Structure 1
Amino acid sequence: MSQTVGNKCFEKCVTKPGSSLSGSESSCISRCVDRYMEATGIVSRALFSSQR
């Protein structure tokens, strides 16, 4: 799962791949991964609470 998230965020945030990430690319990837993890948590909590 983390590899898929990383790939999707990399594709979204890095327009011109090079030998290193710029600060804005790094920030974009970090925010992207944080949002994905937050959304996964929300969906998981919703599924578990609806099963009770």
Structure 2
Amino acid sequence: MIAFDLNTNDAEALLRHCVQFIPQSDDAREDRRLENALLTLAEALRAHLESE
């Protein structure tokens, strides 16, 4: 479980970065891991924003 202590503006800004970021390294496996981690973080941020 991820718990956030973020105000709405900060949470929304972080969510935008999670959704818009495109990994561009030379390692496809690492890019996929980062993409999956950012998707998980985005889901947690959405849940946080809905609970406010």
Compute the TM-score of the two structures, normalised by the length of structure 1: 0.50
Query: Larger C-alpha radius of gyration, 1 or 2?
Result: 1
Identify which of structures 1 and 2 has the higher relative contact order when contacts are C-alpha pairs closer than 8 Å and 6+ apart: 2
Return the TM-score normalized by structure 2.
0.50
